[in-house]
Structure 1
């Protein structure tokens, strides 16, 4: 019986080749998209979930009340970790940790600049990273200790064995000793680094880490099993207030499970509103929709070709075939086609995966483990049943007496259902098209927006070695300026890409006592503002021509407006208790992404507190200029590796998630339209075949080819127009929500929706037109012949 059914299925596929290939291509494309998105979503959901004590591992964060709402910060005070261990019995271990930074490590003549961080002594007790060598209880107890990854050990020593106690030089100055070796971070770890230093070493010369007013470190804790996290949060909520004798009332502490930081990292006014999880949900929905579009094709084409299978159904029923048997046969066809589509989809994914990894920035692979195999089989079975259930029920329900006469009564409901499915397909396609257009234009907008400073051809690199001394720094910058191709050069505390160094220590006349608004603090050297092309609204920048400017300050327009100062030039404010005279007001510029509004900023002159050297290069000869800078750098700073970045690349990196969404949306929209058009193509072919005699009669009576084309494409045109009318308001609501995440955004004009509708309509016309023209050109004699 099974062999007989398989033979029938094979003959059916062979008989209806066009339907078979349309369904195969549509289903395989839909399954390939689903499989790619499944791999990506699975990887996203696995980030940081590999840690042994995931349920007990938390990060302490802060809500900070400002005049315009609540800002949530991942950084906390230096003394917090030790205080939690000593005063909170719920805490098993805690550690202060710095953000990863690139630092030069040296062994003999080998100098490497690699990513590392400093951490408290309990770091490896909190994080269960695998130690190849060393004891996690004491690897960071000595301030001169360094724990390195096995990958870094190979690069420095060419081995991972017998390295405990081996010396490594830090920045060609401090000598550290290897106390442990850990397995390189897995790919699904959000934190990637190659070494860990003692936090006690990092604290040397940084007295601010001992105060509660400073917030510059990350604090991680391991809670004891069974701890009530909500009760613990209430207990530590006002700890900063207590430790500062009630001076700091705007900072409240709370905990967040470490593994949730990656997907749930976005806060608005102190409330968790999402993060990367938004895109995980978005692409999961897209995968479902694309698969649904492919299933709709199968349903429509199967029911549309019913007229060509009515005799088969009638004969089988006449000789005693039960309806259940027919349902199993047609579901078998659907399931077999689904499994064939799955095999083709796996081949497509295998070919597309390298390019998909480039787009997503991941290292996904088709590893056929039990989970993936079961998932693929499950999706394939679901697709086969979903796509084949309606055709199976529809075909098996024919009356044998009626169908053997060659007649089939098509119910009005069935016609409307088929048309409704086409409308649904194209509505989704139009939503995809509008989304692609709007996302593309928004990304283009943020990339071309005037930021208030010139980011183009600005190269920067960190101060290292001799440059940490102020006089050699000035001499070094002067040497950089003398290099052909360098237009200007100076130094600054941090880049212009995001919040880095804020303070609420600015006091002005009329400031409210409870105001704790943070001002972004840019520490600069002479000529830094000129190098960045920051324009002044009034006043001047820092200049040696006016003597010492260390007691002077420059604000941006947003700061002056916030403070309510009229005629600010010459007025004084207090910064951390010291009087500072305002000498200039800079025009507003975007030091954060366009997700954020421009915030209050001030500049102060303190060359010794700058950490990056920035140089403006002349356009057209960047490669030659960089080569000269590198030669000069290595001559002045031997033993250090010259690593640089461009400011415009750093700016673009802020929108990497949006850029990936834009590119992926473009691909998925194209595939959704392709699948929809395949179905439309098949339906148009069957419609033309079913109306072949009508076409012949019309041609005999004098109808033109254009009239025939218009007749056949009219119904499809109405369906696509209805889809456009449904899709436009839906896409408007969705895109309005997406754009709300940007403080500066494009306007959703009607042209995006009109353009998407026209594109969908033209695509449908071309698809249907091919079949309509073919039918219109058929010889009417052939049309009117009996079988």
Structure 2
């Protein structure tokens, strides 16, 4: 019996191979897209889950309250980690984690390692990163100790054993010993480094970081004992801070609260950010899209299966006459549907394997090394395919196996209104999803364009940025650059817009004449910085070499600082006194607000001061003509002055745009999957159009005989689908508005959701539907009416 079922199933599939191919391919594409999204979501949710005691690890963060603001920092003061470990028995170990670039020299060749972290000796006690060589308790307990990742060890020493060998580090070329080799840190970790430097290297004398309670720099992680309540431990921190630094907080009017963030939630759920962050909202969005695509593919499959099953009514009637039972017929239909789905499952697996490298590139990370790297995901996909097959086969199985044979054999078979409502409801669901995705795609694209085209308040075009040593060679180097034909101007600074900044404890005179305490962003610059970046002065003057006191007693602030201090207009802040990091003086100028952070963040108060000891970045404005020749000349000049230093540069516009790479990747992924969903929806609509045409072919034949035109018949068949798309539009619009409104809240500067977005989405969906339906409608209208009426 079972053999007979398979034989009939494959005969039907082969007899209608065009239909079968359409049905299988639509489902396979949907399943492949859903599988890719499943891999992406699974990878994002797997971040920081590889540590055996991960649920007992916390990141220590700080809320810093000043009279001006509340700062939610993602770090803690330098002395916090060692003192917490000494103070609380509930804390087994604490480590600091400070990322930086580090000059590294091997022989006469110098490198700049971009992924370096200074950590305490307890690092491997807290985290389960695998140490291949070296004692985890000792590899980082001495100054100038290095632990290299496998790839970094191979880069410097090839196949040699690097343990005990030395590398020269930092600008002064201090010898550092390689004490350990660790396995490359997995990509699904927000803690990333290829070279670990012992923290004692930085904290040993003459540095005094371990006593500087007002100095914030490293991230802090603690491992707590099993059963420790984080809330109870966190409640003890206020007394701890009072004993250690209470007088300092009161004197400086900066009051600190330490908090514990679960380590496994830092990447996706922390609102404080970090070096590497994700977005739980994006994970939710892609999960919904994946579910939608599978739902659309399933609806499409059901619609096409239903449309095809009507043509088999007479076959079923004959089989019932010759003795086939109702259960046997139902099993036959469900079996055929499952077979189709299993074929689609195999095809989906192949499509996923082909698309995975492209998908990894689009996502910007290796989401999965291969389709079979996670057997559980393949199992889920298999169960989904079988479930879809069963569900898709149930409706035609129940309907076609329950009617009376003589009714069907006389040609009066109809599935009734309930079947029509079901199919139309499924199409409305499909197009509701599609319209919502079209709206989302338009809004995401417009937000990305808004961010790229936003007036940043500074000039970033044709600006080349170099990291240099702050020594006597810097002045000669910049003078040599300035003499090059393609160089227009040169500026020095501690940072460039978008590249980060220092935060400084500041006291600035407010409108009441009091010195107002605030923790303000600080740029160290030279006299050419403001004009080169095109920053606009709204009051006072910029720094000038004509005023000797500018280098020691002058400050320029932005409009946000003026607002923070309570002045009615920028001019009122000119002459206000300040104290900042050992310097005292007056505000000499106010610049117009500019975006020195990303557009996801609001513009904050900013202070600027002259200090040649802190300006390690060289910003070179070059002519747009023959850029490659100018860059080559700059490179030659660099190599003639500092031959041992690698020539590593960025163009500022490219550097600034890289800040939005995560959003661009999200937008590209969204666009690709939205297009797939719309394509699969069209297949579903094609299925319903085919079904409707089959049901009404006699009506069409009669209409043609009595004089109906082709456009009239096309209009007749298309009208009901236009109504379905209209209903879908009404359902999708408010849902899409709410979802996109929530997504835009992550951006401090964002577009408004305009009415035309919904109009464009509705018109696009209607156009797609009409093109899809018209194919079947025109085909039916052009058919010979004699053939349509022959079965009467």
The reply to whether TM is greater than 0.5 is: yes
Shift, 1:736, TM fit? 1.4
CA shift in 2, pair 1:382/1:503, >3 Å: farther
The residue aligned with 1:271 is none
The residue aligned with 2:370 is 366
The residue aligned with 1:559 is 561
Shift, 1:232, TM fit? 1.0
8 A contact 1:19–1:682 mirrored in 2 = no
8 A contact 2:457–2:535 mirrored in 1 = yes
Shift, 1:728, TM fit? 1.6
Distance 2:167 2:687 in 1: 72
Shift, 1:491, TM fit? 2.0
Distance 2:650 2:143 in 1: 31
SS in 1 for 2:613: helix
Distance 2:144 2:644 in 1: 21
Distance 1:494 1:523 in 2: 7
CA shift in 2, pair 1:264/1:715, >3 Å: same
Match of 1:434 among 428, 434, 439: 439
8 A contact 1:296–1:421 mirrored in 2 = yes
The residue aligned with 2:504 is 503
8 A contact 1:554–1:603 mirrored in 2 = yes
**Unaligned segments of structure 2, at least 5 residues:** none
SS in 2 for 1:607: coil
Tell me whether 1:335 sits opposite 2:334 in the alignment: no
Shift, 1:653, TM fit? 2.2
Q: Deviation per CA, 1:659-701: give whole Å up to 9, x if none.
A: 1121111111111111111121222223223222211211121
Shift, 1:147, TM fit? 1.5
Distance 1:144 1:531 in 2: 40
The residue aligned with 2:753 is 748
Tell me whether 1:673 sits opposite 2:672 in the alignment: no
CA shift in 2, pair 1:177/1:208, >3 Å: closer
CA shift in 2, pair 1:595/1:307, >3 Å: same
The residue aligned with 1:356 is 359
The residue aligned with 2:19 is 19
Distance 1:511 1:134 in 2: 61
The residue aligned with 2:197 is 197
Distance 1:43 1:352 in 2: 17
CA shift in 2, pair 1:22/1:83, >3 Å: same
SS in 2 for 1:573: strand
Distance 1:153 1:340 in 2: 47
Distance 1:199 1:591 in 2: 30
CA shift in 2, pair 1:112/1:576, >3 Å: closer
The residue aligned with 1:696 is 701
Alignment of 1:281-680 (within 5 A): 281-363=284-366, 364-368=368-372, 369-463=374-468, 467-469=469-471, 471-497=472-498, 500-509=501-510, 517-549=518-550, 550-565=552-567, 566=569, 567-576=572-581, 578-680=583-685
The residue aligned with 2:108 is 109
Which deviates further from its counterpart, 622-631 or 412-421?
622-631
CA shift in 2, pair 1:528/1:35, >3 Å: same
Alignment of 1:212-227 (within 5 A): 212-227=213-228
Shift, 1:309, TM fit? 1.8
CA shift in 2, pair 1:772/1:557, >3 Å: same
8 A contact 1:709–1:776 mirrored in 2 = yes
The residue aligned with 1:767 is 772
Shift, 1:294, TM fit? 1.0
8 A contact 2:104–2:167 mirrored in 1 = no
Shift, 1:167, TM fit? 4.7
Distance 1:719 1:594 in 2: 40
Shift, 1:785, TM fit? 2.3
Which deviates further from its counterpart, 236-245 or 257-266?
236-245
Shift, 1:238, TM fit? 5.5
SS in 2 for 1:654: helix
Which deviates further from its counterpart, 582-591 or 341-350?
341-350
Distance 2:67 2:432 in 1: 44
8 A contact 1:91–1:223 mirrored in 2 = yes
Q: Deviation per CA, 1:443-495: give whole Å up to 9, x if none.
A: 000111000011222222223xxx322x4322322222222222222222223
Count of equivalent residues: 777
Shift, 1:93, TM fit? 1.2
8 A contact 1:498–1:593 mirrored in 2 = no
SS in 2 for 1:296: helix
8 A contact 2:75–2:216 mirrored in 1 = yes
SS in 2 for 1:658: helix
TM-score normalised by L of structure 1: 0.94
